[in-house]
Structure formats: C-alpha cells, structure tokens
C-alpha cells in the first residue's frame, strides 16, 4: 500500500513539473494541451472510489447515481440506490464483500433478475434488474427451474450452496423487472430488517445542490374543507403569502442532482425554521420495509393526487409512526401577524440550499380551493361499510392512514362509480362490489373491475359472485365493470442468434401464465413484461436443427391461446 502511495506521489510531482514546462511553452494558450494531465486528473484516476472500511463498489465504472436511497417513489420509499451503467446492459456486477448467495429471484416485475448476498457482518446486499447471472449461479438456477418447471422463481439457499468472494463477478447489469432503463439497483439490508443508505460505504463526489421548486401551504384548521395550495418558487421566494389567521403547515417539492441534471434525485435531510427558530427537522438514514406505506403521510397525498408531484410534509402528520421527525412544524398564524418561513435542505454530500418566504394574516383573503363532496357522503376511517342497489363498499378504519369525508356517486347512464375526492391514502385495501345487472350468468366468469388511470379504465382484477363483481382497491377514483373474453395474442415466434423470442400480449386482465415446450420438452423463458416478450436461451437444451415450438399463454380470466411453430436453428 505504501508503495502505491509512493508511485502516486511521484506521478503527481512529475506531472506538476511537466505542467509548468507546458504552460511556459504554450503561454499564449488558455488551456493545457489535451495530452497533458493535470495533478487533479491524476488524483482522480488513482483515487479509490471506496474508503478502507467500505464495501467493494459493484461496478467498474465511476459512482454515478440515477436514484437515491429513500427517494420518493409514488407508493414507497426507494430501498437502495440506482447506479448508472452508461445507458447499456451487460456491465459486469461484482460482490460488495465475501458472502454466500442467500436468495435468487426471477420475476417480470420488481427487481426482475436479482441476487441477495449474505455477508459475514450480518448485512445482505441486493443486486437488481440484472440481465443474467454468473455461470455458477446460472447453472444452479437453471437446474432448479427445469426441475420445478417454473419460469418465475424465488430460491432461498443454504450457506454452503454458492460461496462468493469479495469483488467476484456475480452477473451482468440489465433492465429486467420494473426497471425503466438500464441500471443496477444496489441496496444493503441490516440483520434486523432495516434498509440502510448504501452511499455510506462509498466516497461521494457531488457538487450540485438540491433545488426547491415549489411550496405547498396546508390549511390545518380546514384541511377537510380545502385542498393545500401549491406555489412555485418564482412566486414565493422572498415574497409574502397572505392567509386568514389560523394554523398552517408547509410541504415542499424539490429535486437533487449528482454530477449533471439528467436525473432528479431525492433529499433525506430537511429543516423548517419559523421566525429563525427551528420548527421541524427530519433525516432518513434507514427504514423498515413494513413502514414503506407511510410515505403517504411523509408526503402530501392531497397535492400528489392533484398535480402528480411528491411534496414532502415539513410537519408531523397525525398517525405517522416514522421515527425521523423532531418538532411538529405547525405554524400558528395570529391576526395581523407576519412570520418568516425558511426551508433548508442538505443532500448526502453536504450540499445545501434554502428558500425564504413570509406568511401574513389577512382575514379577507382565501387562496385555497374548496374540497367538494358529491353524492352519498361517507366518513372513511370511521364508518366501515356502505351499501346501495348499484354498489357496496367495505373498509376497516385500520386500512386507511387518514380519516376524511368522501362522496359516492353512481352514473347509471355510463355505469361508472365515482368515489371522490381521491385524496385519502390507504395503508391496506378496501373491498368494492359493483352489481352486474347488465350481464348474463354465462358472462360472469369474464367480469372484473377497472379503475380509471388517465383517460383509460385499467383492470384491477376481481371476480363475479352472486351477481356482484368484487375487487380489492387501495386508492379512490372512478370504477366500472369490464368484460374480458378475448384470449391473449402470440404476435411472433422467432430466433435471433441463440435467443428464442416470442411476442405475447393481453390487452385487459393481463398475462397470468405462460409455458413453452420445444420438441415436447419444457423450456424456460423470461417474461420481459415491458416489451411484451418471452426470451429463452436455446443453448439450455443443447438443441439442434429442426425445432417444434409450442407456446401456451393464459390471462387472468383464463382465456387461453396456444400455437405451434416449426423453426430451424443451427448454432
């Protein structure tokens, strides 16, 4: 190690001498010639990306993140970090430390192809969205999949099954599962089940500060009657917001950046000052998986439902059991009073930012939009059931995170049930039933419930029993009965290199099961859901020449499609 440092110092000294000469010779130029490296460049080249006590970095490339720990991901906190792979798949992925493979997962959703490594320190490192596994992991997995005849599989391994060394290649990066672009998902889990920030193990080079983009004003005295008000940074920074006297809270929408502005990242350290006194602070260093749904109280669900952006609450919401908060953050605005409000943020590298504004009491001003209820009123979180001729609704108070009045209105002309406003966050699920009076009994097996997402009703599943279509829901909105009696499609069957590709598509209830046989032998495939494609490696069965390929696909209403195709393949 001392020898390495000596070499680096020599290089630095030599580079400094060459740089001086070069500058003297090219004194008319503004920059050094392209071939001459500055001391800073040499330090960057030789400086390790990890500290002495850190895990090995799982990629060959520099640390570049496209997603941060505990980042707000709609319905959950992000459990790890997303590492960039230059927009491509197939980068070698390495073990953070010596370990044994404790779990292998293959799924068309979530982490896709994922490996879990159990380390001697008790931690588990997770590597998600892989395109393939290393040879020894792949051999084990292939044996188990063919033995069980299962494409989607989760295997828990004993300590002596597959041992892994520190820095050993365990697979290739990819884009499988719920990934939207090629990257490596990397996370670290403690033995107590908590997920911790993996960046603590690596040296972070980040010079860009977070940016506060918008502020939400939350009317606490009348939050059931009015929606929070969002105000852009341009319209609030160093300005006065006039409000009636009362109790208020602040939410904020922000983004952080790493070395460029290509990805919007999260911030886990925040403070709120009122008249130069700290009113609220929070820092997320870890979390329990069973607490992930409390993101709905950590963020402002009402603002999320109205404008689609995740505003972080800078106050303690009733019912929020997360342990990160100090102070309640509530602002008591008295008549004729003016208060100064400051929001401070700090990212993982210590880059800081803040935004200042003022609240002033003015009785004749009301900036909030009324929260209107239509139809039959129901107190969600207190009442448990509601029944009518057209629909039935059941929800235990323990299944929701906030108590609010909502309205039920059924439109008999278009057969749509509207349960609004949709600003009540769920911890669990409610049961919704819609009367199938316009369908015959022979159609019952094809019926399900759809929820409006954007301009389209999408399946949330369900079944019909005794004339009622029933499904579980975890958010409010607009619902209707849908009928799916159309089988899935097999769009194509083709071979590219040694890879078998099969295009499959179901337009409503979704693909539930898929099976492929080649020459009457079960053949494993991976379902790449976002591409509507089954992928398989023909080298699995050591096949040659004429191939008789059978494909069977079922959707969630048990509509089935099967085809058979003859292809030739010469490896």
What tens digit of pLDDT does each residue of 496-538 get? Answer: 999 999 999 999 999 999 999 999 999 999 999 999 999 999 9
- CA 410 → CA 386, 388, 434, distances in Å? 13, 10, 10
Q: For residues 186 and 57, what is the distance between their CA atoms, to the nearest angstrom?
A: 10
Name the phi and psi angles at 454, rounded to 5. Answer: 70, -120
Q: What's the rounded mean pLDDT across residues 352-380? A: 93
Q: Which residues, at least 6 apart from 159, have a Cβ–Cβ distance to it below 8 Å?
A: 100, 102, 118
Q: Which of 12-26, 268-282, 372-386 has the lowest mean pLDDT?
A: 12-26
Looking at residue 68, what is its pLDDT? 93
The residue with greater pLDDT, 306 or 526, is: 526
Looking at residue 45, what is its pLDDT? 36
Cβ contact 228:220 at 8 Å: no
pLDDT tens digits along 170-191:
999 999 999 999 999 999 999 9
Token couple for 296? 């709905």
Q: For residues 517 and 477, what is the distance between their CA atoms, to the nearest angstrom?
A: 42
Q: What's the rounded mean pLDDT across residues 334-351? A: 95
pLDDT tens digits along 99-120:
999 999 999 999 999 999 999 9
- Bridge partners (DSSP) listed for residue 495: 500
Burial label for 200, CB within 10 Å (0-12, 13-18, 19+), is middle
pLDDT tens digits along 141-153:
999 999 999 999 9
Q: For residues 448 and 461, what is the distance between their CA atoms, to the nearest angstrom?
A: 5
Look at residue 65 and tell me whether its pLDDT is greater than 60: yes
Q: For residues 105 and 145, what is the distance between their CA atoms, to the nearest angstrom?
A: 11
Q: Nearest Cα to 493, choosing from 544, 554, 548, 530?
A: 548
- CA 75 → CA 71, 292, 298, 305, 424, distances in Å? 11, 8, 11, 12, 13
Which SS3 state, helix, strand or coil, does residue 16 take? helix
Strand residues in 199-328 grouped as ranges (E): 211-219, 229-232, 240-243, 246-255, 269-274, 277-283, 286-288, 312-313, 325-326
Q: Which residue has the tokens 């990066």?
A: 173
Burial profile 487-512: b = 16 or more Cβ within 10 angstroms, e = fewer:
bbebeebebeeeebbbebebebbebe
Looking at residue 53, what is its pLDDT? 53
Q: For residues 146 and 141, what is the distance between their CA atoms, to the nearest angstrom?
A: 9
Q: For residues 99 and 115, what is the distance between their CA atoms, to the nearest angstrom?
A: 12
Q: Which residue has the tokens 């005794």?
A: 466
pLDDT tens digits along 388-397:
999 999 999 9
- CA 554 → CA 320, 330, 560, distances in Å? 41, 53, 5
Longest dimension (CA), the chain: 92
What pTM was estimated for this model as a whole? 0.86
Q: Nearest Cα to 230, choosing from 369, 332, 71, 402?
A: 369
Looking at residue 44, what is its pLDDT? 41
Dihedral sign from CA coordinates of 42, 44, 49, 50 = positive
Cβ contact 561:550 at 8 Å: no
H helix or E strand, kind and range, residue 145: helix 135-148
Look at residue 12 and tell me whether its pLDDT is greater than 70: no
Look at residue 472 and tell me whether its pLDDT is greater than 60: yes
Q: Which residue has the tokens 């003015």?
A: 362
Q: What's the rounded mean pLDDT across residues 357-368? A: 93
Q: For residues 81 and 497, what is the distance between their CA atoms, to the nearest angstrom?
A: 34
| Neighbour order of strands in the sheet with 545-555 | 521-523, 511-518, 545-555, 560-569
Q: How high is the mean pLDDT of the chain?
A: 89
Looking at residue 524, what is its pLDDT? 97
DSSP string, 175-236: --TT-SSSEEEEEEE-TTSEEE-GGGGB-----PPPEEEEEEEEESTTTTTB--EEEEHHHH
Query: Given 3-state DSSP classes, what are the helix, strand and coil percentages for the chain, each rounded to the nearest 5?
Result: 15, 45, 40
pLDDT tens digits along 313-328:
999 999 999 999 999 9
| 355 C-beta neighbours (distance < 10 Å), count | 20
Looking at residue 7, what is its pLDDT? 44
Q: Which residues, at least 6 apart from 95, have a Cβ–Cβ distance to it below 8 Å?
A: 56, 58, 117, 125, 164, 165, 166, 167, 168, 169, 170
Q: Which residues, at least 6 apart from 170, have a Cβ–Cβ distance to it below 8 Å?
A: 93, 94, 95, 101, 115, 117, 127, 133, 134, 137, 164
Cβ contact 211:347 at 8 Å: no
Dihedral sign from CA coordinates of 198, 204, 206, 211 = positive
Look at residue 50 and tell me whether its pLDDT is greater than 70: no
Looking at residue 48, what is its pLDDT? 38
Q: Which residues, at least 6 apart from 182, have a Cβ–Cβ distance to it below 8 Å?
A: 85, 87, 88, 89, 129, 173, 174, 175
- CA 179 → CA 124, 128, 158, 198, distances in Å? 21, 9, 29, 19
pLDDT tens digits along 227-251:
999 999 999 999 999 999 999 999 9
Percent of the residues in the chain that have a pLDDT greater than 70, as a whole number: 90
Look at residue 22 and tell me whether its pLDDT is greater than 80: no
């Amino acid at each position: 190690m001392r020898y390495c440092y000596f070499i680096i110092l020599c290089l630095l000294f030599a580079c400094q001498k060459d740089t001086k000469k070069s500058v003297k010779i090219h004194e008319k130029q503004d920059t050094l010639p392209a071939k001459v490296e500055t001391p800073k460049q040499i330090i960057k080249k030789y400086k390790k990306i990890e500290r002495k006590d850190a895990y090995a970095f799982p990629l060959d490339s520099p640390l570049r993140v496209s997603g941060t720990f505990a980042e707000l991901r709609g319905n959950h906190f992000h459990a790890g970090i997303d590492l960039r792979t230059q927009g491509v798949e197939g980068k070698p992925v390495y073990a953070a430390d010596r370990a044994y493979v404790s779990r292998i997962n293959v799924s068309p959703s979530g982490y896709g192809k994922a490996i879990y490594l159990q380390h001697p320190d008790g931690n588990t490192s997770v590597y998600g969205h892989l395109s393939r596994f290393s040879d020894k992991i792949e051999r084990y997995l292939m044996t188990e999949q063919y033995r069980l005849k299962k494409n989607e599989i989760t295997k828990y391994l004993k300590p002596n099954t597959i041992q892994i060394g520190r820095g050993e290649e365990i697979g290739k990066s990819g884009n499988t599962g719920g990934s939207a672009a090629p990257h490596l998902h990397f996370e670290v889990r403690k033995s107590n089940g908590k997920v911790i920030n993996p960046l603590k193990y690596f040296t972070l080079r980040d010079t860009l500060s977070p940016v506060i983009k918008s502020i939400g004003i939350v009317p606490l005295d009348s939050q059931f009657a009015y929606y929070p008000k969002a105000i852009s940074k341009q319209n609030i920074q160093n300005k006065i917001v006039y409000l009636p006297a009362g109790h208020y809270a602040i939410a904020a929408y922000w983004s952080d950046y790493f070395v460029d502005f290509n990805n919007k990242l999260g911030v886990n350290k925040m403070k709120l000052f009122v008249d130069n006194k700290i009113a609220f602070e929070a820092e997320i260093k870890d979390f329990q998986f069973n607490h992930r749904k409390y993101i709905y109280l950590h963020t402002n669900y009402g603002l999320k439902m109205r404008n689609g952006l995740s505003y972080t609450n800078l106050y303690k919401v009733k019912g929020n059991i997360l342990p990160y908060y100090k102070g309640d953050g509530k602002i008591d605005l008295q008549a004729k009073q003016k208060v100064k409000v400051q929001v401070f943020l700090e990212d993982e590298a210590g880059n800081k930012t803040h935004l200042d504004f003022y609240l002033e009491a003015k009785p004749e001003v009301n900036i909030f939009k009324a929260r209107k209820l239509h139809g039959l009123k129901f107190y969600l979180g207190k009442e448990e059931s509601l029944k009518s001729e057209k629909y039935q609704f059941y929800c235990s108070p323990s299944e929701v995170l906030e108590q609010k009045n909502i309205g039920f209105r059924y439109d008999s002309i278009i057969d749509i049930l509207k349960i609004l406003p949709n600003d009540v966050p769920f911890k669990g699920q409610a049961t919704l039933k819609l009367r199938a009076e316009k369908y015959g009994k022979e159609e019952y097996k094809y019926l399900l419930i759809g929820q409006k997402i954007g301009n389209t009703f999408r399946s949330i599943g369900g079944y019909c029993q005794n004339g009622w279509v029933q499904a579980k829901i975890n958010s409010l909105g607009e619902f209707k009965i849908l009928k799916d009696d159309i089988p899935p499609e097999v769009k194509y069957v083709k071979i590219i290199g040694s890879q078998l590709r099969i295009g499959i598509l179901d337009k409503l209830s979704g693909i539930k099961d898929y099976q492929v046989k080649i020459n009457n032998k079960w053949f494993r495939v991976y379902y790449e859901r976002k591409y509507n494609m089954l992928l398989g490696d023909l080298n699995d069965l050591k096949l040659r020449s004429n191939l008789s390929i059978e494909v069977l696909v079922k959707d969630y209403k048990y509509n089935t499609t099967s085809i058979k195709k003859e292809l030739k393949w010469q490896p």
